[in-house]
A and B are shown apart, each in its own frame.
Chain A
Amino acid sequence: MAIGLCIGHYFSVSYAFEGDLILPTMGKPTIEFEFRSDQEDIAPADVFSVFVGNRGECCEGKSPIAGRYSMEGRTITFVPAFDFIEEQKYTVQVHDTDATKNDAQSINEFTVERTVEKISPEIVAVFPSGNIIPENTLRFYIHFSTPMRPHVSSDYIKLVDATGKADTAAFMAFKQELWSEDRKRLTLLMDPGRIKRGVAQNIALGPALQVGSTYSIVVDDGWPTANRAESMPGYESTFTVSKALRTLPDPALWQIALPRNLTNDPLVIEFDRPFDHALLQSGISVRDANGRPILGDITIDKHERAWRFNRNGSWRNAQIQIAIDTQLEDVAGNNFIELLDHSVGTESSKANQNLIILDLKPTPN
C-alpha cells in the first residue's frame, strides 16, 4: 500500500555522516540517506534510526521503529516493517559515529500527511429545500460537508424573520442534539408546542412561522468541525411560508409515471405535497408481484415533491407493487394514519401499509 501524500524535504547534514536525507514521499514509504564517508565496514542500522514522536520526545530510552536497512554504494535505505501512520510525527536520528564529536547528531522530524483530501466545512443542503414551505413544517435537516462539533448548534443556528429579528424559541431544545451517526446531518425540530393549535406555547408565543411571511435559517460563521481543525463560514437560507398542511397524505392524489417492462425506465412518483426528506429514503419500496423487494437507487427531487426509482438492471415484471410505510411523514409530520395536529376524538386511519399494485406497460416493441 502506498502511503500517499507525504512531505519530502532534502536535508543536508554536516556531521561525520554527511549527506542527503530523503524522507518519505508520495508512493515511496522509505527513508534514504546518501552519505559521504571514507569509513569502511559501516553497519547501516548504526547510521540512522527512526522513532515515533516529535523531536522533543526523541530519543532517549526509546526503541526505534522496526524495519529493514539495506545499503547500496553509499546510499542506505530504510523500509519500515509497517507503513508509516498518517499524521503521526516521526523523528529520524542520524548518528555520529565519529568518537571525537559524540554529541553531534542530526534530528529530523517528519509527518506523513493524510491521503484523503481535506474537505472544507460548509452546509451542502437544507431540507425542506423549497423556497415556499407550509406554516406547520415540523423538521429542518441541515447537511454538512464534514462532521461537526456537537452541543453548540444553538450558539450558531437561528430562525430570523424579515426584519432580522431572531426567534430563540422556534426550535426544540434537547439535552441531546439530533445528529446522524456520522455527525454530518443535524435535525432541527420546530417546537411542536408552537405548531399545535391551542397548546400553551402556541397561545403564548404564536406559531413560529406565519403564513405569507419570509424567514431565514441563519448559521453564524465560526462553528468548529468535529476535529476542531476548521470552522464553518456563515450561511443563510431564506423561504416564504404558505398555509398549513392539515390533511392526511393520500396516494390517490399522486402522479405515478410507470416504467415500460424490459426497459431501464425510472419509476417516478410526484406527490401532492413535499415529504420529509430523511423518511423518504426508506418510506417507499418497490416489490415484484410476489412481494419480493426489487433493489435500486432512489433520487428525491422537485423539492421533496418527487421520488424517482432506478432499479438495478431492467424491469422484468408484468406487475409491480409499491409499498408505502404508513409512518412516512410529509414536511408537517402528518403520516398516513393521523395528522400531527388533529382535534381530540378524530378517527385515525387503521391501515398499517399502503400497497399500490400496478401493471407495467408492455415492451416498447
Chain B
Amino acid sequence: MTIKTFTAVATLLSSIVPATVFAQDSQLDLKFAGALEFSEAGTLFVGDNYNGAIYALDMTGGNAPDQVKPVNIGDIDVKIADVLGVARSSVAINDMAVHPVSAEIYVSVTRIGNFESAPAVMKVTQDGSIELLDLASVAFQKQELNHYPDQETTFRPRGLGKMPPLVRDVAKGDIKLSSLAIMDMEFHDNELFVSGVAFDNFLSTLRRIPYPFTGEQSAANVEMYHISHDQYETRAPIRAMSIQEIDGKAQLIAAYTCSPIVAIELDEIVDGAKISARTLMDYGNGQPIDMISYSLNGKDTLFLTSNSRSPYVIPVDSLNGAKAYKKGDLPDGGRSDLSPVMPVGATGKTVMFDGMSLHMDALGDNFFVSITRDMYTGSLNMDSNFNGFPNRLHNLIAEFDFPQYYTDKAK
C-alpha cells in the first residue's frame, strides 16, 4: 500500500529533531487552533483555548527561499474552504504567522462541520499553494496552562451609555472568558510569553514558559493605568505584544483595548507576582490585533493594527525614557478620542491601510502579509506589500489613474 499525504514535508522534517523534545508516542489532541507564534528556528506554537494548552509543533528544518516572494491570494477564505471541503461560511480564520525560515504562511482555522467543529492549520507556500497540515504526522510537545479559566463564565453584555444593548451586544453574553485565555504569544530567548485571561484572582495574566517545555510555568497578574478610562485595570487582557530593548533592558511592550501601550520589564514576570505595568502612551480608542516588530529604514519599529483604527507605527527608540502615566497625572475622568488630552504620550504615527487587516505578520525583511477584508466587496484577501507602504491601490482613484496624466506628462 502506498500513501500520499499532503504533508510529507512535515513528516520528513520531524525526524531530524532530537527525540527527547517531541512526544512521538501520544496523539495530538488539539481541539482549537487559535493564536500562532514561531520560534526563530521554526517551532510553531499553537494556542488551544478549549484544552487550555499550548502545543509546540515541529516545523523546523525548512529551507529558506533564495528570495522571499510576496504572496497574493484573492478570496483566501474560499480557497481554504475548498481544501477543507466546505463552503466559505463554514471556515473561521483565527490567526496567521509566517515561518521565519521558509517564509511559508501558516493560518489557524476552525472548520465548522455538520455536528462539530474541527481545528485545522493551513500552510500557504511561497508559490501560493494552500495545503492542510497533517496534524497526525507532526511531532509535538504540549504544555497545559495552570490557573486556566473555566469553560462556563461568560462576558456581561452592555449597551452604549443609555442606549439599550442590541441583539449583537447581547450575544457577548454567550462568549466565554476562556476564549481570551490565550490572546498573544511571543517567543524570546528560549521562553514563550503568553498573554490572556486566567482565573484564581489573576484575570489579565502574563505567563512565562521555558521552551522546550519542562512543565515549569509562571503566571503573573498585570495591573495597568488605563489612560482613556482613567482607572487601574486588572481584568482585560493584553491583546498584542512584542519584546524590545527599552532603556537598556528587555521589556515587553503591550497593547490593550482602547488603546494604552504599556511596558513591563521581563524580570518582573515571576510566578504569583502582581505586576504594575508602566503606561507609556494611549493612542486612542479601538482594539489592537497584531503588533509586528520590523526594521524600517534601519530602525527597530513596531507596526500595530487595530479593528477600528488605521495602523500605528512606533519607532522603538522613541519609547526610551518615556514618562509612565499614573492616575492623577491628567485631569480626572474618562476621555475618548476627542478629548483635548488625547492622544497621550504619542510617539508614533498613524498610517494608511486600505480595508481592515484581520491578521498581519512580517514576511521576510521587506514585506507584510495581511489577511485583509476589502471595504467595498467584503472579500477576504491575502495580500503582501512592502512594509514601508503596506497597501493595495485597487480601491483608490487618484490623479495617477487618469490616462491623460501620462499623455500630458509625456508632452
Partner of A81, one of B2, B3, B115, B132: B132
- B81-95 at interface with A (beta carbon < 8 Å): 81-87, 90
Q: A66-B132, A82-B111, A85-B90 are in contact. Are A52 and B4 (CB under 8 A)?
A: no
- Find out whether the CB atom of A52 lies under 8 angstroms from the CB atom of B132: no
- Find out whether the CB atom of A85 lies under 8 angstroms from the CB atom of B113: yes
- Find out whether the CB atom of A69 lies under 8 angstroms from the CB atom of B84: no
Q: A85-B90, A86-B114 are in contact. Are A52 and B5 (CB under 8 A)?
A: no
Query: What are the residues of chain A within 8 A of B317 when measuring CB–CB?
Result: none
Query: What are the residues of chain B within 8 A of A64 when measuring CB–CB?
Result: 82-83
Partner of B4, one of A44, A50, A51, A53: A44
Query: What are the residues of chain B within 8 A of A88 when measuring CB–CB?
Result: 85-87
Chain B: CB-nearest residue to A85: B86
Partner of B3, one of A51, A68, A85: A68
Chain A: CB-nearest residue to B129: A63
- Find out whether the CB atom of B132 lies under 8 angstroms from the CB atom of A51: no
| Bound form: Cα–Cα A86–B90 in Å | 12
Q: How far, in Å, is A75 (CB) from chain B's closest CB?
A: 10
Q: How far, in Å, is A97 (CB) from chain B's closest CB?
A: 15
Q: A63-B129, A69-B4, A71-B2 are in contact. Are A1 and B81 (CB under 8 A)?
A: no
Query: What are the residues of chain B within 8 A of A72 when measuring CB–CB?
Result: 1
Q: Tell me if A62 is interfacial: C-beta within 8 Å of chain B.
A: yes
Interface size, A (range)? 20 to 34
- Find out whether the CB atom of A70 lies under 8 angstroms from the CB atom of B3: yes
Q: Tell me if A65 is interfacial: C-beta within 8 Å of chain B.
A: yes
- Find out whether the CB atom of B82 lies under 8 angstroms from the CB atom of A63: yes
Query: What are the residues of chain B within 8 A of A71 when measuring CB–CB?
Result: 1-2
- Find out whether the CB atom of B2 lies under 8 angstroms from the CB atom of A85: no
- A8-28 at interface with B (beta carbon < 8 Å): none
Q: Tell me if B118 is interfacial: C-beta within 8 Å of chain A.
A: yes
Query: What are the residues of chain B within 8 A of A141 when measuring CB–CB?
Result: none
Query: What are the residues of chain B within 8 A of A115 when measuring CB–CB?
Result: 114
Q: Tell me if B130 is interfacial: C-beta within 8 Å of chain A.
A: yes
Q: How far, in Å, is A73 (CB) from chain B's closest CB?
A: 10
Chain B: CB-nearest residue to A1: B115
Interface size of B in residues (CB-CB distance below 8 Å): 27
- Find out whether the CB atom of A51 lies under 8 angstroms from the CB atom of B87: no
- Find out whether the CB atom of A68 lies under 8 angstroms from the CB atom of B5: yes
| Bound form: Cα–Cα A64–B130 in Å | 10
Q: How far, in Å, is A252 (CB) from chain B's closest CB?
A: 42
Chain A: CB-nearest residue to B115: A1
Q: How far, in Å, is A45 (CB) from chain B's closest CB?
A: 5
Query: What are the residues of chain B within 8 A of A301 when measuring CB–CB?
Result: none
Partner of B85, one of A69, A70, A90: A90
- Find out whether the CB atom of B1 lies under 8 angstroms from the CB atom of A65: no
Question: Beta-carbon contacts of A266-304 to B below 8 Å, as 1s and 0s?
Answer: 000000000000000000000000000000000000000
| Bound form: Cα–Cα A83–B3 in Å | 19
| Bound form: Cα–Cα A344–B310 in Å | 63
Q: How far, in Å, is A6 (CB) from chain B's closest CB?
A: 13
Query: What are the residues of chain B within 8 A of A45 when measuring CB–CB?
Result: 4
- Find out whether the CB atom of B87 lies under 8 angstroms from the CB atom of A52: yes
Query: What are the residues of chain B within 8 A of A251 when measuring CB–CB?
Result: none
Query: What are the residues of chain A within 8 A of B120 when measuring CB–CB?
Result: 81-82
- Find out whether the CB atom of A70 lies under 8 angstroms from the CB atom of B84: no
- Find out whether the CB atom of B114 lies under 8 angstroms from the CB atom of A85: yes
Q: A66-B132, A83-B113 are in contact. Are A52 and B85 (CB under 8 A)?
A: yes
Q: Tell me if B79 is interfacial: C-beta within 8 Å of chain A.
A: yes
Query: What are the residues of chain B within 8 A of A44 when measuring CB–CB?
Result: 2, 4
**Which of B79, B81, B82 gathers the greatest number of chain A CB atoms within 10 Å?**
B82
Q: Tell me if A215 is interfacial: C-beta within 8 Å of chain B.
A: no
| Bound form: Cα–Cα A84–B113 in Å | 8
**Which of B81, B85, B90, B115 gathers the greatest number of chain A CB atoms within 10 Å?**
B85
- Find out whether the CB atom of B85 lies under 8 angstroms from the CB atom of A82: yes
Q: Tell me if A147 is interfacial: C-beta within 8 Å of chain B.
A: no
Question: Beta-carbon contacts of B91-124 to A below 8 Å, as 1s and 0s?
Answer: 0000000000000000000010111101010000
Chain B: CB-nearest residue to A65: B85
| Bound form: Cα–Cα A71–B1 in Å | 6
**Contact residues of B with A, CB < 8 Å?**
1-6, 79, 81-87, 90, 111, 113-116, 118, 120, 129-132, 134
CB pairs A–B below 8 angstroms (5 shown): A52-B82, A63-B83, A66-B6, A81-B132, A83-B113
Task: Please give me the 8 A-B residue pairs with the lowest Cβ-Cβ distance, nearest first.
Answer: A66-B132, A65-B85, A63-B82, A69-B4, A63-B83, A45-B4, A66-B83, A86-B114
